[in-house]
Amino acid sequence: ENAENDPRFAHLTKKERLGLIKQRSRLEHVLAGIKDMSRRPDALFVVDTRREHIAVAEANRLRIPVIGLIDTNADPNNIDFPIPANDDAIRSIELFATKIADAIIEGRNQWRASRPERSSRSPRRRGAGRDRAAAPAAPAAAKPPADAAPAPVAPVASEEAAPPPAATESAPEAEA
């Protein structure tokens, strides 16, 4: 970040400086969300697993569960919770993204409701209140519990793939 203030930066040609400034700007744009993360995510949701293969590989290396939309041209072996879907259609992406976000919010609310509330007399760790007050408020879907995100995903994919029960149980027999 402080490369422009470095005395070696002044010795570069104008073209080299411009290239470094453009590269820095591009990296800041792409990695802005990661820069401010205070901890590892509990899960990773990926829409296009082929395009985001680096993020999937990094999550696998860090043992972060990966939930991903898998199209016919993608490899489901690297994804912990594959969802067969068209990852090119905007409606498909919106459907799955909203369902997963809703499930994360619902799971987070259930998790918060199941936690025992602290009484005002319970001893607190030193400095625990300062960390919460200084930290900016994050959106509810930003930090899902590890067990909340994957659970609702599997039933959505399996319900659509399964044939209706009436079609398999009471089909009329054809006479020969």
Q: Which of the four pLDDT bands, split at 50, 70 and 90, describes residue 7? A: confident
42 exposure class (CB count in 10 Å sphere: 0-12, 13-18, 19+): middle
Using an 8 Å Cβ cutoff, are 40 and 62 in contact? yes
Per-residue confidence at 64, pLDDT binned at 50, 70, 90?
A: very high
Domain residue ranges in the chain: 40-114+142-158
Please give the mean pLDDT across all residues of the chain: 74
User: Higher pLDDT residue, 2 or 97?
Assistant: 97
Model pTM above 0.75: no
Contact in structure between 16 and 39 (CB atoms under 8 Å): no
Q: Which numeric CATH code is attached to 40-114+142-158? A: 3.40.50.10490
